[in-house]
A and B are shown apart, each in its own frame.
Chain A
């Protein structure tokens, strides 16, 4: 292959780390949205859904402001964790987590909502607390939803462009991911290289989605009553 593979590697590293961290963050959020007793659920849901409708550049712009060392948040992170979030890989991860939040939260929330109430209640009457019920009863019965959420998040992060460009820029090996590399090659009129990056992204994401849907179909078929 004639192209530098680093942007591809960076893309999948970013997508993998983002998806794993986001899964950990999204599970309690989804549980809380479905079963929590609180007011203002609508506000929280709307905020989580914002990345679906806002231009990535808007999110990227505000994150750029917040992450910058002249802003209190950026200054605080830099002071306490020694991390500079603008134009850095950790910054990209945080931005990706925020940007892909609905892709992880919504499918898991839908999966939890689709379970019969009696499953949870049966577990309670069998002496199990909320945590045991969540881990041993609810999650195993949401496997297809969790798989879908994970893969959608992964694929969505692979496809990120605007947010990355705004807060990450284009630093080789640090923030230059494949989607940005495609853009650069096209700007340089280097179409064959752009094509190679694009093809790899296309093929990999297609195979991932194909795998997920076939696994999900099988899982759903097992759950059908005999």
Chain B
């Protein structure tokens, strides 16, 4: 692996790329869970790793929180105890209650992980990782196993907590929507190297030629409203309603499939099949 990057304090970075590219390995290196042959990691001017001078700060001493892909909740402890376990010596337990509250887990505090849904387990993992007030939160595909609605909820929760506590985040994800929603920066990794790095717009959008938008649909109903036609069509698994000029009435009959092409200076309907 050959990786070189820096992340501004309080920023959120998404790490993405094909499976086997080394994303999880990089996360574990930063956490201090594995040791590289050569390398240097500094965090806020603190040396975490410097193989040249044999500095290797153990995971326990790096100010990190780690959210594991399988959540890694302790099965024999309740939700509450999972969070209490994370307390540092002499740290007040107040933060545990605050985090339970913030993540909506107060009602579930006495349950064991096996009695929770995936989304709830994910919240526990997130809350537990924040107990020690980490300055850097490492997350390995935290929302991958959740349904889309739950994913959005938890992304919002993460944004809220991030705003409140202002820790930096490195997040492994395959979800482009998630990258745009959450990340200030994105790094694309391929076979152990970061091949692209920048803001999501720089990485994904800037170089792309404007191609416009093309959707495919099927007409359900079509009714005349003055000079226009109101079309109800089945597009992308949903019923969409839009207006088109009345002169297309003879073509846009129920059952017809069409493509709607939209570019900067033109909109065009093309009939595929009557």
Contact = CB atoms under 8 A, between A and B. Distances in A.
Nearest to A122: B72
B85 A136 contact: yes
B41 interface: no
B23 interface: no
Given A119-B74, A223-B75, A226-B114, A126 B131 contact: yes
B223 interface: no
Given A124-B59, A126-B86, A128-B60, A119 B132 contact: no
Contacts, number: 61
Interface size class of B (residues with CB under 8 A): 20 to 34
A2 interface: no
Interface string A108-125: 000000001011011111
B58 interface: yes
Interface of A: 116, 118-119, 121-129, 136-137, 140-141, 222-226
Interface string B48-74: 000000000011100011101110111
Interface secondary structure of A, over-half rule:
helix
A131 to B, nearest CB: 12
11 contacts: A118-B68, A118-B70, A121-B72, A122-B72, A122-B74, A124-B60, A125-B66, A127-B86, A127-B88, A127-B132, A140-B76
A224 B60 contact: no
A119 B71 CA distance: 9
Contacts of A225: 114
Interface of B: 28, 31-33, 58-60, 64-66, 68-70, 72-76, 85-86, 88, 114-115, 128-129, 131-132
Given A141-B76, A226-B115, A129 B60 contact: yes
A212 B72 CA distance: 28
B230 to A, nearest CB: 49
B27 to A, nearest CB: 11
A124 B32 CA distance: 9
B74 A137 contact: yes
Contacts of B132: 126-127
Contact of B70 (A116, A137, A224): A116
A136 B66 CA distance: 19
A116 B72 CA distance: 8
Give the one of A129, A223, A226 with max B CB within 10 A. A226
